[in-house]
Amino acid sequence: MKFVFVFLIGILFLGTQAEAQKVFGTRNGKITFASPTDDDVKSTNNEVASRIADNGQITFSALIKGFKFKYAEMQEHFNDQYLESNKFPRADFKGTIVNLKEVNFGKDGSYKVSVKGDLTLHGVTKNITVAGMIEIKGGKPLANCKFVIRMKDFNVDASSVTETVNAEVSCQYQ
Amino acid sequence: MQKWKKTILMIGGIGLLAALAVVLYVFLKPHRDVSKEKGVQLTAQALFDAFKTNEADANVRYLDKAIELNGEVADVNTNQDGHIVVNVKTNDPLFMINCTFKTNPGTLQPGQTITFKGICTGYIPDMNVVINEGVLVK
């Protein structure tokens, strides 16, 4: 009987904890990337799915075929030769805000963050740490960050075009 | 002019033209126009079911294909670059078919049943199947 009572209290406590956690999401965040050496090599994806929780967990998913280029031929090469998007259709990031204590999701303001987690691209997973900014406005977060992706780190052989790309993430959550 | 000089000039000229043709091909090749393609016809629910049941199989069938979907509008939004985005319902309230429209579909209301065409870019588990380059059919 005592065990059942403790169990029920435990369930109630866990339930309260789960309820307390606030999760914000978007289906239409934005990622852009550009080559630092060739102005024509730049692309945007406006269908980035992302969730951010006030416990610091953060996820991003972007479909490779959703990256749009100015030139159709470049888009085809990107998908078929470099990122092999039929084989690896999605890029995912799953991480946490390292300095969560410095972010108040309940108070409007701008907060510098460091996010650490696993980025999976082209079938390769790498642990990365990126600096970014979370802006809370009207209770809704906007996350921004910039970082460099080395093609070689993800087994992408694009050396004839670019060795690195500068990636930029911008997600307005609801 | 000596014969060998003429030959070299001719080969050089042909090479230059070929290079020019490649450059023009790369920079002038038009993007796909989904409005001119015949889409695979199915319901939003059937597309969701296909991806949820077997993502790899659904990728083979639908990824990068022109899809013509029929479904009920859940909500209409604008993305961060100002394009219209329509979420179409599935039987899972948390899961949508997310379509970014290439052309403005006009005024759409939640609950309205629409038919639209676009290119399927894939599946994001627990979130949505993504369609872009959307055009309203009816």
Q: Pairing between strand A140-150 and B40-43?
A: unpaired
CA A157/CA A152 separation, integer angstroms: 7
pLDDT at B26 (0 to 100): 64
Summarised one tens digit per residue, pLDDT across range A56-95 is 999 999 999 999 999 999 999 999 999 999 999 999 999 9
A63 — contact with chain B (CB < 8 Å)?
yes
CA B1 to chain A, closest CA, distance in angstroms equals: 39
Facing residues of A119 across strands?
A93, A126
Q: How many CA atoms lie within 13 A of A34 on its CB side?
A: 11
Distance between CA atoms of residues A172 and A29, nearest Å: 6
> Over the stretch A37-55, which tens digit does the pLDDT of each residue have?
988 899 999 999 999 999 9
Question: Residue B47's pLDDT is what?
Answer: 98
Report how many domains make up chain A. Answer: 1
Asked whether the beta carbons of residue A89 and residue B59 sit closer than 8 angstroms, the reply is yes
Question: Amino acid identity, residue A18?
Answer: A
Q: Which pLDDT value is given to residue B18?
A: 82
B122 in A contact zone (CB under 8 Å): yes
Give me the domain span that covers residue A56.
Answer: 21-172
Q: Are residues B127 and B60 in the same domain?
A: yes
The residues, any chain, with a CB within 8 Å of residue B56's CB and separated by 6 or more, are none
User: Can you tell me the mean pLDDT for A114-141?
Assistant: 97
My answer on whether B20 and B70 are in the same domain is: no
In a domain, A5, yes or no: no
On whether residue A106 sits in a domain, the answer given is: yes
CATH number at residue A162: 2.40.128.110
Residues B18, B48, single domain; the answer is no
Strand (E) positions, B44-127?
66-78, 84-89, 96-101, 113-124
Distance in angstroms (rounded) separating the CA atoms of residues B52 and B91: 12
Residue B7 lies in domain: 1-30
Ordered per-residue pLDDT tens for chain B, 138 residues:
778 888 888 888 888 888 777 766 666 788 899 999 999 999 999 999 999 999 999 999 999 999 999 999 999 999 999 999 999 999 999 999 999 999 999 999 999 999 999 999 999 999 999 999 999 998
Pull the structure tokens for residue B40.
Answer: 């695979």
* Residue A55: other Cβ atoms inside 10 A: 15
pLDDT at A16: 47
Q: Which residues of B touch A73 (CB under 8 A)?
A: 25-27, 29
Contact list, A72 vs chain B (CB under 8 Å): 29-32
Residue B118, pLDDT score = 97
Q: Is the pLDDT of residue A2 over 60?
A: no
Residue A36 belongs to some domain of the structure: yes
Domains in chain B, number: 2
How many residues belong to chain B?
138
- Tokens matching residue A15: 């339930």
Measure the CA–CA gap between A97 and A57, rounded to whole angstroms: 7
Q: What angle do CA B52, B48, A171 make, to 5 degrees?
A: 90
Q: Give the nearest chain B residue to A29 (CA atoms).
A: B80
- Say if A47 falls within a structural domain: yes
pLDDT attached to residue B7: 86
Amino acid B12: pLDDT:
87
Instruction: Spell out which residues of chain B touch residue A83, defining contact as CB-CB under 8 Å.
Output: none
For A139, which DSSP code?
T
Residue A143 has pLDDT above 60, yes or no: yes
Asked if B128 and B91 sit in the same domain, the reply is: yes
Q: Do B7 and B68 fall within a single domain?
A: no
> What digits encode the pLDDT tens for the residues A15-27?
444 457 899 999 9
Chain A residues lying within 8 Å of B63, measured CB to CB = 65, 86, 89
Confidence at residue A50, expressed as pLDDT on a 0 to 100 scale: 98
CATH of the domain at B41: 2.40.50.140
Taking the C-alpha atoms of residue A149 and residue A119, their distance in angstroms, rounded to an integer, is 10
CA distance A131 to A144: 9
**Which ipTM was obtained for this model?**
0.85
Structure tokens at A11: 């369930």
C-alpha distances in Å from residue B86, one per residue of A149, B81, B102: 31, 14, 11
In angstroms, the separation between the Cα of residue A102 and the nearest Cα of chain B is 27
